[in-house]
Amino acid sequence: MEQPVNVKQRLAVLFGGQSTEHEVSLRSSINIINAVDRQKFDLTLIGVDKQGRWTLCNEADYLIHPDDPARVKLAPSTRYLAVVPGHNTAQLIDITSGQALPAIDVAFSVLHGAAGEDGSIQGLLRVLDIPFVGPDVLGSAVCMDKDMTKRILRDAGLPVTPSVTLHRSDCASVDFDAIAGALGLPLFIKPASQGSSVGVSKVQDAASFQQALAMAFTFDHKVLVETAISGREIETAVLGNDQPGVSVCGEILANDDFYAYDTKYLKDGQAGLLIPAPLDGDISEDIRRIALAAFKVLGCAVMARVDFFLTHQQEIILNEVNTIPGFTSISMYPKLWEASGLDYPQLVDRLITLALERAHCAADIKTDR
């Protein structure tokens, strides 16, 4: 009797993008691609250049300087892609040849930051009827905007860093003394919708406050001014749909003044990770419980990394939620799951499975009367 033939599905990996995290995304893509089970999936590699153009990539040569975080680049390509939406008929077209690409069964986007993590790509994939790894449109959009994240978490009674939100139109009337009086010094200034600590500054006085605001407003139209929390930086990873699980906790040991972009990605040896974090059992469980609650209340699904501060008084404060965490060789999300019993290939396989499961459940929801 003949054995049934296992038909492989086609996975699209999207990387690059127009955000300030373009290079981080390229580095993340390497590990995702290497971890995919080729017995289960054929790959379509889609590189999004800094002009937002989708390009079809060859696995063998799609990156320049792939091993150098400071110089990694998307290789030039003339194989641009166009999108033809349609329920069950969506296609990606190779503009050069005019030919349709093989149909995509599921997408794994590591487009970190703006125009990739903020619900925009998620919305496009929804329109294309392509299942994708990570939270849906609303969860992605809410978590990308740190101001909106805080508002929802506060409403749910979850502990967040005290902050003030400023818009560009507020610049002329900002009262440093009033903000410092309310939040204390030092302060952190950060763009509301950036990741990887891009545009973040720590300030001690009025002069540095104005400089930090000016820089943050070059990255966003909305800026958060936050109390600088003195304590430990703890992170945990969430994985799942209706019944998500939470990994062990990890701790960031940053040798710089704070865990900035260069410390994360460019300075070898400047940051350490302790996994699992040396925490009292009750504290660890509380952090994991709050992470799970945040994941649910923010409308997340499939995956998210949840970042905390633990003060010297053992107070747990939720900092932010990252819906497309890094997948570089030094990134916390995959390391946390490895310490929790899922190695890199198993994690990637599980993420893809969760994306397909969510799409299957969504197909059961009525869209008409």
Q: How would you class 301 by CB atoms within 10 Å of its CB: exposed for 0-12, middle for 13-18, buried for 19 or more?
A: buried
The CATH number of the domain where 85 resides is what?
3.40.50.20
One domain for residues 337 and 285: yes
One domain for residues 316 and 222: no
Cα(6)–Cα(60) distance, integer angstroms:
26
One domain for residues 148 and 258: yes
Q: Is residue 300 part of a domain?
A: yes
Cα(346)–Cα(37) distance, integer angstroms:
9
pLDDT score recorded for residue 265: 46
One domain for residues 62 and 147: no
One domain for residues 18 and 127: yes
* pLDDT single digits (tens) 189-221: 999 987 657 889 999 999 999 999 999 999 999
| pLDDT mean by block of 10 residues, the chain; 369 residues | 69 95 95 97 97 96 95 94 85 93 97 93 94 97 96 98 94 91 96 81 94 93 95 97 97 71 50 92 97 98 98 97 94 97 98 96 67
One domain for residues 199 and 299: no
The residue from 205, 227, 249 where one domain ends is: 227
pLDDT score recorded for residue 160: 97
One domain for residues 147 and 274: yes
One domain for residues 106 and 45: yes
Q: Nearest CA to 252 among 333, 314, 327, 315? A: 333
Cα(121)–Cα(53) distance, integer angstroms:
13
One domain for residues 118 and 183: no
Q: Per the structure, how many domains does the chain have?
A: 3
The residue from 227, 242, 264 where one domain ends is: 227
Q: Nearest CA to 324 among 173, 171, 169, 196? A: 196
One domain for residues 257 and 321: yes
Q: Is residue 208 part of a domain?
A: yes
The CATH number of the domain where 197 resides is what?
3.30.1490.20
What domain range includes position 38? 9-132
One domain for residues 86 and 147: no
The CATH number of the domain where 236 resides is what?
3.30.470.20
